[in-house]
């Protein structure tokens, strides 16, 4: 018997086997949750299909989170195929490369809008679309992914840090708004991991070295550890936790000098 037998989840943000979303999906599936995945654009379809096919009874659907019609269509398919929803994972972020690389003061208006739309507003849009399905399950749990650069100015993180600050505020406001409907909303603030998205951050390799040197545990986090934290937040194990930003970063954030 798995902890999550009979429960269902929807996963946004698998690009490949190094994606944080895939680590969390594997942990959820290990405990018996049935999963649906989305991918953005045809170029990712085959990769996501072949990963999803390694899990029992999974579903794969297209969705660009900036497109309301695609969001509606994903939730209609999940309703039809799964009939309920217990967990929603938001593991999606984007900012134009030039806005990450330029001096922060030169951030473009368009880049600012795009980064906030994809990386923060999408959490609100997806959670709203999930509500009727959560209702069928008697409640639900939402988990997003964030980074320390939302709280502190981290060199090279720039516009993405501002978008993550917005995402973290969305987590708290959604949690306050939806708690009475038994919907919980939390985020994991993960230490740096070498993924596709991370490669867009200038100086990412030195960020990894710095974290491993300074963090109390003297190492970087493993994908599997973020997977297990996601399992905790998306399962009834965390039933009285909502609106929280949970660090999974080898303790890096607690260190001063």
| DSSP per-residue letters across 73-126 | HHHHHHHHHHS---EEEE------HHHHHS-GGG--HHHHHHHHIIIIIHHHHH
- Told to judge if 147 belongs to the known catalytic residues of this protein, a careful annotator would answer yes
Place of tokens 């306050």: 176
Of 59, 150, 174, 190, which one interacts with ligand NAP (CB under 6 A)?
190
Q: What are phi and psi of 77, to 5 degrees?
A: -65, -40
Question: Least distance in Å: CB of 95 to ligand NAP?
Answer: 9
Residue 175: closest CA among 245, 118, 227, 235:
245
Residue 27: closest CA among 169, 177, 166, 232:
232
Per CB under 6 A, does 29 bind ligand NAP? no
Q: What are phi and psi of 192, to 5 degrees?
A: -65, 135
Question: Least distance in Å: CB of 132 to ligand NAP?
Answer: 21
Of 28, 61, 65, 129, which one interacts with ligand NAP (CB under 6 A)?
65
Distance CA 15, CA 223 (A): 14
Of 8, 26, 195, 242, which one interacts with ligand NAP (CB under 6 A)?
195
Question: Is 20 in contact with 11 (CB distance < 8 Å)?
Answer: no
Q: Where does this chain touch ligand NAP (CB under 6 A) — which range of 40-48, 51-59, 102-110, 178-186?
A: 40-48
Nearer to ligand NAP, 104 or 204 (CB): 204
Of 76, 153, 169, 196, which one interacts with ligand NAP (CB under 6 A)?
196
Q: Where does this chain touch ligand NAP (CB under 6 A) — which range of 29-37, 74-82, 96-104, 189-197?
A: 189-197
Of 165, 198, 212, 241, which one interacts with ligand NAP (CB under 6 A)?
198
Question: Which string of x and - marks every residue 118-157 that binds ligand NAP (by CB under 6 A)?
Answer: x--------------------------xxx----------
- Told to judge if 148 belongs to the known catalytic residues of this protein, a careful annotator would answer no
Residue 174: closest CA among 98, 217, 122, 137:
122
Per CB under 6 A, does 165 bind ligand NAP? no
Of 9, 10, 11, 13, which one interacts with ligand NAP (CB under 6 A)?
13
Question: Is 243 in contact with 127 (CB distance < 8 Å)?
Answer: no
Place of tokens 């009727």: 132
Distance CA 48, CA 200 (A): 21
Of 91, 107, 186, 238, which one interacts with ligand NAP (CB under 6 A)?
91
Residue 55 burial class via C-beta count within 10 angstroms: exposed 0-12, middle 13-18, buried 19 and up? middle
Q: Where does this chain touch ligand NAP (CB under 6 A) — which range of 62-70, 105-113, 168-176, 228-236?
A: 62-70
Q: Which residue ranges make up the site for ligand NAP (CB under 6 A)? A: 13-15, 19-21, 40-41, 44, 64-66, 91-94, 118, 145-147, 190, 192-193, 195-198
User: Catalytic residue numbers?
Assistant: 147, 157
């Amino acid at each position: 018997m798995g902890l999550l037998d009979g429960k269902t989840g929807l996963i946004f943000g698998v690009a490949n086997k190094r994606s944080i979303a895939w680590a969390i999906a594997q942990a959820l599936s290990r405990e018996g949750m049935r999963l649906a995945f989305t991918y953005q654009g045809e170029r990712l379809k085959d990769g996501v299909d072949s990963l999803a096919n390694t899990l029992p009874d999974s579903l794969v659907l297209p969705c660009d989170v900036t497109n309301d019609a695609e969001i509606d269509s994903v939730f209609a398919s999940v309703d039809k195929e799964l009939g309920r929803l217990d967990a929603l994972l938001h593991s999606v972020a984007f900012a134009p490369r030039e806005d990450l690389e330029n001096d922060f003061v030169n951030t473009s208006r368009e880049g600012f809008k795009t980064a906030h739309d994809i990386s923060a507003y999408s959490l609100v849009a997806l959670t709203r679309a999930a509500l009727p399905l959560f209702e069928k399950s008697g409640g639900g749990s939402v988990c997003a992914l964030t980074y320390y650069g939302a709280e502190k100015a981290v060199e090279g993180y720039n516009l993405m840090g501002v978008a993550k600050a917005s995402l973290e505020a969305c987590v708290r406001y959604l949690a306050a708004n939806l708690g009475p409907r038994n919907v919980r909303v939390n985020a994991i603030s993960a230490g740096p991991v070498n993924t596709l998205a991370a490669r867009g951050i200038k100086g990412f390799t030195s960020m990894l070295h710095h974290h491993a040197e300074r963090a109390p545990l003297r190492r970087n986090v493993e994908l599997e550890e973020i997977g297990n934290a996601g399992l905790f937040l998306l399962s009834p194990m965390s039933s009285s936790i909502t609106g929280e930003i949970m660090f999974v970063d080898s303790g890096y954030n607690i260190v001063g000098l």
